[in-house]
Amino acid sequence: MIEGIYWITWRELKRYFNSKVGILIRFIQPLVWLGFTGNIFSETKILLQQVGFLGTYLDYIAPGVVTMMVLFTSIFGGMTTLLDRRLGYMNRILASPISRTSIALGKVLGISLIALIQSGTLLGIALFLGIRVSTGILGIFAIILTALVVALGFSSISLMVAIKVKSHEAFWGVVNFMGMPLLFVSSALFPLELMPSWLADIAKFNPLTYSIDIMRFFMAPQGSFINLIPNLIIIGLFALIVVSFCAILFNREITKAL
Amino acid sequence: MSIIKVENLTKIYGDFFALNNVSFSVEQGEIFGFLGPNGAGKTTTIMILITLLKPSKGRAFVAGYDVVKEPSKVRANIGYVSQDITVDDYLTGRENLKFQAHLYNLNNENKRIEEILNLVDLSDRADEPVALYSAGMKRRLDIACGLINTPKVLFLDEPTLGLDAQTKRRIWDYIKRLKNELGITIFLTTHYMEEADILCNRVAIIDRGEIKALDKPSILKGHIGDEVINLKLEYLSEAFMDSLKKLQGIKEVKFHDTLCSIKAKGAEGLIPKIFELASIHKVKVESLSSKKPTLEDVFLAYTGRGLRDILSDKEKGKIFGKRMRRFRY
């Protein structure tokens, strides 16, 4: 089982590192956000101060942009599974004795590690651009760990979509439809306190809101870490439930032809 | 010993019989071919035998294990090469094989990978990304992937589909080598008559989910019977015609003007005798041709239709296409 997961993940990562153009393209959008949006909205600093955030807007959205990278990398990650099925490669894997669950978990882990590499690199670039992580190296480690948990959750969702819809058009439709609202209706780009209350209420159901608050804490701590414990539990449970559900659904769908 | 045993296998989709009461067995070490048009039930049979599809009725055993009850044991003992070339373009040839080896939990896979690469003549290109390979090389790598676990049975679904004539012949050579040098049992499907004829020890002709005939290609062709010799003469000679009919092995002689059509057994031996007779009777032969029955004739005889007729059978094709997509995508 563990070995199966390892090798499915191995292939995902090999494919990732062998497609060099793909790696670069994925950095464009987040960098645009950091470079432009972070500056365009710099005057909102006063608004942020009203709700107790003391840094610049760039400081504010840095965890949001890192999350954006995690979110989009993981939510598009189901694509390789869709391709594997389309091209018949999945049948080759299924005709071997490897356990079906380890295929699902290996895929999720592979996508999540890619999301981790991407967001880690982006965080590095952000640091280079002058964004501070005041909790130091341990804080960076905590941010990356948070990113991994979020990635596990959303790559599971992506894999479930891929296994369910079977066509490219539907896949892109669904994940695009999910991606943007998930990002906007969260604390990624703007504090919930400054949103209309109905939108803030919706944002409270978004796991990203909680993971972003954790990341933001480690970049510029405000208040006590104790306050974050509910956040940790929420994103942990979110990931656990979604990953398990994904493994079950994958098992069922992949053997449906049987 | 039968390495594949299939008993009354039936697969129904709604009211469509993809397979209808199919029974056969494959002996160890032989190349067994399923010959039939698109949509005949070839891929359905393979999918059931490799445990990716459950039969509606009937049983099947591969390498001694029940495909429904003991799928993991079946999977460990087989290799599968699908009709689409399924190698990972982003990986190198060696990485493809490495991944494949670990799907089967093989340890010390490097030695096995070298062996397999040698077998399919890809050693010198093994570290290039597969995206740079030609179609023939990809197919060879594909087959190599199917061999990594030293399977007892190798399933090849349309192994030369879409390849040019030269590449096709090379793949045939590799397939023959697998059987002769490694003794692997091969179950292949094809809709190319020539392929079935050249490669297979035994062939089952399958159409609309049913096996119409099953035997050695030579025997199948023998059932069709006789060879036909066509003669064009300068002029008709009664005496020549009478003496032709008396030749041993000649079954029937028909004349249309100066064209003479002879049904016979053993045409090779008869042709010189025909020329002897012609010179005795001073008849000039303008042209002569002889034709042996092909598997296509066999197919026609058993199904009452030519392969091409069925290929244009659009309605059935559409229905079937939908069914097949269910497990391809």
Ranges for all domains in chain B classified under CATH 3.30.70.100: 226-291
Q: Could you give the CA distance from residue A66 to residue A144 in angstroms, rounded to a whole number?
A: 9
Write down the residue that tokens 């055993």 correspond to.
Answer: B61
Q: Tell me which chain B residue has its CA closest to the CA of residue A93.
A: B103
Considering only CB atoms, which chain A residues are within 8 Å of B54? Answer: 258
- Give the residue-averaged pLDDT of A139-145: 92
Low-confidence ranges of chain B (pLDDT < 50): 311-317, 319, 326-329
The one-character DSSP state at B92 is B
Question: Are residues A201 and A108 in contact, defined by beta-carbon separation less than 8 angstroms?
Answer: no
The range of the structural domain enclosing residue A106 comes to: 2-254
Listed range (A105-109, A225-229, B127-131) with the worst mean pLDDT? A225-229
The arrangement of secondary structure in B226-291, i.e. its CATH architecture, is: 2-Layer Sandwich (3.30)
Q: Could you give the CA distance from residue A219 to residue A227 in angstroms, rounded to a whole number?
A: 16
**Which residues lie across from B4 on neighbouring strands?**
B26, B62
Q: From edge to edge, which strands make up the β-sheet containing B227-233?
A: B250-256, B259-264, B227-233, B285-291
State the pLDDT at residue B328: 47
ipTM: 0.87
Question: Are residues B302 and B204 in contact, defined by beta-carbon separation less than 8 angstroms?
Answer: no
Q: For residue B216, which phi and psi values (nearest 5 degrees)?
A: -65, 145
Q: How far apart are the first and last CA of chain B?
A: 36
- Closest in B75, B88, B327 to A257, CB measured: B327
- Enter the tokens of residue B112: 């096995």
| Residues of A at the B interface, defined by Cβ within 8 angstroms | 3-4, 6-7, 10-11, 14-15, 18-19, 85-89, 91-98, 166-167, 257-258
- DSSP string covering A185-231: TTTTTS-GGGS-HHHHHHHTT-HHHHHHHHHHHHHS--S-GGGGHHH
Considering only CB atoms, which chain A residues are within 8 Å of B75? Answer: 95-97
Q: Do B103 and A7 touch (CB under 8 A)?
A: yes
The arrangement of secondary structure in B2-221+298-328, i.e. its CATH architecture, is: 3-Layer(aba) Sandwich (3.40)
Own/partner long-range contacts of A19-26 (Cβ < 8 Å, ≥24 apart): A19/B90, A23/A118, A26/A69, A26/A72, A26/A73, A26/A118
Q: For residue A252, which phi and psi values (nearest 5 degrees)?
A: -70, -45
CB neighbour burial string for B283-306, b if at least 16 within 10 angstroms, e if fewer: bebeebebeebebebbbbbbbeee
Question: Are residues A34 and B114 in contact, defined by beta-carbon separation less than 8 angstroms?
Answer: no
Q: Tell me which chain B residue has its CA closest to the CA of residue A9.
A: B99
Q: Cα distance from B86 to chain A (closest Cα, Å)?
A: 5
Task: Give the Å distances, CA to CA, from B312 to A221, B44, B307, B308, B323.
Answer: 71, 20, 9, 6, 18
Q: Tell me which chain A residue has its CA closest to the CA of residue B90.
A: A15
Q: Could you give the CA distance from residue A174 to residue B161 in angstroms, rounded to a whole number?
A: 35
Q: Do B145 and A15 touch (CB under 8 A)?
A: no
State the pLDDT at residue B315: 47
Quote helix, strand, coil % in chain B, to nearest 5.
45, 30, 30
How many domains would you assign to chain A? 1
- Give the residue-averaged pLDDT of A104-110: 96
The one-character DSSP state at B15 is T
Considering only CB atoms, which chain B residues are within 8 Å of A167? Answer: 329
pLDDT digits (tens, 9 = 90+) for A58-95: 888 888 889 999 999 999 999 999 999 888 899 999 99
State the pLDDT at residue A223: 77
Ranges for all domains in chain B classified under CATH 3.40.50.300: 2-221+298-328
Sign of the C-alpha dihedral, residues A154, A159, A160, A162? Answer: positive
State the pLDDT at residue B232: 86
State the pLDDT at residue B59: 93
Interface test with B, best of A16, A80, A84, A92 (most B CBs within 10 A): A92
Q: Cα distance from A172 to chain B (closest Cα, Å)?
A: 16
Considering only CB atoms, which chain B residues are within 8 Å of A10? Answer: 99, 102
Question: Are residues B3 and B28 in contact, defined by beta-carbon separation less than 8 angstroms?
Answer: yes
CA dihedral B113, B119, B122, B123 (to 10 degrees): 60
- Give the residue-averaged pLDDT of A174-203: 88
Listed range (A6-10, A15-19, A109-113, B79-83) with the worst mean pLDDT? A15-19
State the pLDDT at residue B309: 52
State the pLDDT at residue A5: 94
- Is residue A154's pLDDT more than 90? yes
Packed helices A136-165 and A57-76: angle between N→C axes, nearest 10 degrees: 40
